[in-house]
Structure 1
């Protein structure tokens, strides 16, 4: 559905989701961590205003606590922050939702799963790496429907913000408040982040499967 919309509508959807997550993380008396941010859990009304849904995996966290304890990973393959399934990457916090948001924004940008940048579903090209290279070399983004400077600026903002959000180290990711500021600010003020370290995980046998227990080899 996303790619049938114009770039301005896609941009406003990305901003709306960011504002919703910002409210969950800092606008409530008790911080709410969603842990399953993905396109299927974003509802659009008749005006394409996004609403975050499905809080089945959510966890409450006191505002003063930045790191929380989880007994197992939770979320959907392809959107799970690395620290959620492997503690070697850092502590689990609201930054884990930031990672999922970034992966979802990049998926909206590409109009396809991040695992593939081509129509051929056997391709394993990782879209964040592909689009990062074009951004780094200041090349044409090669995205459909960009016909003017405004659309190009919106797409580049979303890409830069998405790439910041999926940084491997949670401390390098912006808060959702900062994400909103970046999206609503000037493109010229945004710095290109380091290239995402992690590559795409292997495609699961069942599309969009949900995992509740995942551990890295060092924890087995």
Structure 2
């Protein structure tokens, strides 16, 4: 068992808000897919932003491979598909890829890039500007950018949003492939079928707190997850 990510009592409180993320602790192993469930506003995206260092935490510690996380931690070792598309909308898919490859100093061939685009039916759109793409196409390309450097830790915030069933299957296959290669993946979704199918372990976040941890061996069913999600089960 190789622990890649270790979060210890991390927390965050915002000014002018009653919301607070309180003392979240968990570990993520190499090759593990961890699901996050909880209602809107429970704190899932806040947790992702703290882990990714996009938002400074107020308390707690984060360790990567046993070392405290510093400001340079996520430059090369993490991928983050957030709910915000942060690349250049006036540039084409190819131009955005060229930019990311140059900035990250990636050794990746054109054949590998084209194969990746083909997996998501984006090869024919390579010369289209991002602002000409549909929501689903943008989501797929955002996923490609987040895995282009083969991160060891991957955060996926609602990755299936806007995708059709065929596109979802392609993304699921890649998520499983990356896990098989040793990536630790944290995945949030309101689609409990996908959480149930993909994840080895599930973190239930409720009102800013880690209310329950469910592993594959717990025998929980999709119905149990639905009850948790709808706050119908006492925790």
Q: Quick check: TM above 0.5?
A: no
Rg: which structure is higher? 2
**Structure-2-length-normalised TM-score:** 0.25
User: Relative to total residues, which structure has the larger strand share, 1 or 2?
Assistant: 2
**TM-score normalised by structure 1 residue count:** 0.26
